[in-house]
Each structure stands twice: as C-alpha cells, then as structure tokens.
Amino acid sequence: MPTEPNKSNWELAAALESARLCTDALFSRIRPDSLYERPIPERHRIVFYLGHLEAFDWNLICRGPLDIPSFQAKFDGLFAFGIDPDSSGLPQDKPADWPSLEEISAYNSRVRNTLDGVLQEVPPDLLHVAIEHRLMHAETFAYMLHQLPFDQKMGPHAAPRASGRRVETSMVEIPGGQAVLGLPKGDAFGWDNEYLRHTIAVAPFAIGKYKVTNGEYLAFVEAGATAPPFWVSRSGRWFYRGMFEEIPLPLDWPVYVSQEQAAAYASWAAKRLPSEAEYQLAAFGSGGEIGLSLDPARDNFDFQEWDPVPVTSSRQNQFGIVQPVGNGWEWTSTVFQPFPGFEPFPFYSGYSANFFDGRHYVMKGASPRTAAKLVRPSFRNWFRSSYPYVYATFRVAEN
Ligand SMILES: [Fe+2]
C-alpha cells in the first residue's frame, strides 16, 4: 500500500470537506420526518447513515492511529457497521431504538471538529479511505433514497433526459490481448482489492457497442421474464421509477438490473456476460488506461444527474465501445475474488475479504452517482447477484 509521508494533507483535507458537503446535501433531500424510515428492508434505517459516516472516520482515524479517547463510546459502536444484506432475517429495530437527531448532530460536529484539528497528523492513506468510504456511501445512499416514496424527498431537480427512441444495437470485435488489472504498489491510492497489478490473456471476442437498453430488455420481459426492479407497470404500460418522478419507460436508457437478470437476458439472447478481464480490455485497451477524455456531464457520473441518460450520449473509445465508463455500472460474469498478492488493509481488514464468498460479482465503470475520485480503471465494485437496488447495467458478449 502506498504512503506519501512528506506530502501535506491540505489537498486531502479539501477533498474530505467537499465529500462532507456532498453527503450533507444528500441527507437534506429527505423530509426531516422521514429520517427514521427504512427504504430498503435489508438495510439500516436512514438515521444510521447520519451517524455512520462520522463514526467511521472517528474509529478509523481518531481512535486508531491518533488514539484520542472516546467522548461518546456508545455512538462509536452503534454507528460503526452497516448490515450485510446476506444476514439471515430482516432487521427488527424500531425508530425509538435510535438516538435523536440532536444527539447525532452534536456527535457529528464534535467528530468533525476534533478530526479537523489533527488532520495534518493523519497518514494520507487513511484520509483517502475516509474520503472514498464517504463517497461510496454517497452512492449507496442514493440507492436508498431512490426507494423512498417521492413525497418524502425534497429539493430541485432537472427533468430526466430521454428521447423515446430505440437504439440500433450492434457488436464490436475486440482483438485478443493482455487485459491490465489492478494497481502497481507504490502508485496512487487504491483499495486493498485493487492490488496487485497483473495481466490476463484475453482471446478475441465481441461485445455490445452500447449498454443493453430498456428498449431491448422490454422484448425479454414481453417473452415472460421478470421486469427490472426500477420498472413499474400502470394499466399495461411500463414506466421507469426515477429518483424524483415516474416517466414512460425510456427505451434508450441503460436497463438497471441485478446480475442474475443480466445473465438471464444474455443467455436468452444467445450471448453471455463479459468477464472482468474482457471488460477491462474492451474499456481500457492493452495499456490499461482510460483512453478517451471523460466528461462527467456527457458520460454521466460524479453526481451530474439523478437518473441515466441515453446510452448513445457518450463518445466511443478506440475499439468503438460507446460509454465504457459512466451512466451505470456494468455487470461482469466474474466472481469477486482477490488478485494474486492480495493483502487486506490492516486497519479495515473486512472491507473486501468479507465478500470473497463466491456469491458477489464484480461490476466496473461508474454510475450517475459515482464520484469522479472513484473513476479509475482499477476500481472494483461488487454486489450479490440477486441484489436489486444497484445502478448497474450490462453489455452482452460472445466468442
Ligand atoms: Fe460504511
């Protein structure tokens, strides 16, 4: 894991502050009387996340290397860990089991003030972890916000962009080559699962020029498949349930589905999902770099939109793949496993290792709610194959 002992933390301090503004703005989207709701049955109530981001930073940094005594040990524990949706049975806690908003707000202020007073003493990698952990929650919290009824959310938002047109689909040939995965040690910050860098030989294959659209998936549903989780049927017509409103099904948007649904569509279409190495080669070439300049507004990441944009809205890369990054994570057929030489972070040993259970699959790219700081070729995301709340889509592949 890289260290930068002589580098000042000022840039990271600014990044932490901007990540805090980002998550604060998200919480302010929820009507105050809805903060004790549980929009996703398998997860904690919203109120947990109000305390979790600060408790995580406190436990990781202040209680960790700086060894600052606890001022509210009960909250340090209460807000330490989320619920793994794999756990048996749904959580049964009541709103009254949680502290008041005033108590949480006082805890959060004290954590922020204490941490801000010692930021220059914090090992830079721990600040990267705090910032990226918060930004990842900014995304997964958006999944939760998405499931909340419209009348419990507030704030301005632009109308969703969809043309209503179907997208002409085609396949792009990718010559075989060496896919580059992971990060070299001593390079920029990465999570434990991004190490070590290695290459995987990939045979020639073909992959969808575009992400699979709602319009294409509609034919699968009309043939009897279960509808994707973000679709709603009203008097025989399909609608898309967006973050703030329902709109007629946008046929040119990427379809958001679980990995199981993505794999089922691919096999119905006599194709398959690409592996992680195949995605890596098709998206980043044998140099392993983002070969085209990305624009958060055009490519739809870094919180520019609440919902997708058409799959045709981005540029194509050197192979002719359109939108290799942004507008929805892309499912792969690859089970989430450690790279050769993997070592867990000693200060966060379960971050990746808890999910090497053969039941989680790798997704790559970025969604509309993925922060730019997380957009790098080596970044890996993962969920259970049946988890339905993720902004994840897919491409089909074939030999
Ligand atoms: Fe967390």
**How do residues 187-223 score in pLDDT, each as one tens digit?**
789 999 999 999 999 999 999 999 999 999 999 999 9
Confidence (pLDDT) at 159: 83
Strands (E), the chain: 171-174, 177-181, 198-202, 205-208, 231-234, 237-241, 246-248, 329-335, 360-364, 381-384, 392-393, 397-398
Radius of gyration of the chain (CA): 21
| Span from the CA of 303 to the centroid of ligand 1 (angstroms) | 19
Total residue length of the chain:
399
Tens of pLDDT, residue by residue over 37-93, are 999 999 999 999 999 999 999 999 999 999 999 999 999 999 998 887 776 789 999
Mean pLDDT of 265-289: 96
| Span from the CA of 313 to the centroid of ligand 1 (angstroms) | 33
| Span from the CA of 175 to the centroid of ligand 1 (angstroms) | 40
Mean pLDDT of 159-171: 87
Confidence (pLDDT) at 87: 65
Mean pLDDT of 364-377: 98
Q: What is the rounded CA–CA span in Å between residue 378 and residue 384? A: 20
| Span from the CA of 137 to the centroid of ligand 1 (angstroms) | 7
| Span from the CA of 4 to the centroid of ligand 1 (angstroms) | 24
| Span from the CA of 128 to the centroid of ligand 1 (angstroms) | 14
- Cis link prior to 126 (omega < 30° from 0)? no
| Span from the CA of 382 to the centroid of ligand 1 (angstroms) | 14
Q: Is the pLDDT of residue 2 over 70?
A: no
Banded pLDDT at 280 (limits 50, 70, 90):
very high
pLDDT above 90 coverage of the chain, percent:
89
For the entire predicted model, the pTM comes to: 0.95
Q: Is the pLDDT of residue 108 over 60?
A: yes
Confidence (pLDDT) at 70: 97
Confidence (pLDDT) at 141: 96
Confidence (pLDDT) at 33: 94
Please check whether residue 107 is in contact with residue 33, taking contact to mean a CB–CB distance below 8 angstroms.
no
Least confident window among 105-114, 158-167, 316-325:
158-167
| Span from the CA of 81 to the centroid of ligand 1 (angstroms) | 6
| Span from the CA of 183 to the centroid of ligand 1 (angstroms) | 23
Mean pLDDT of 277-295: 93
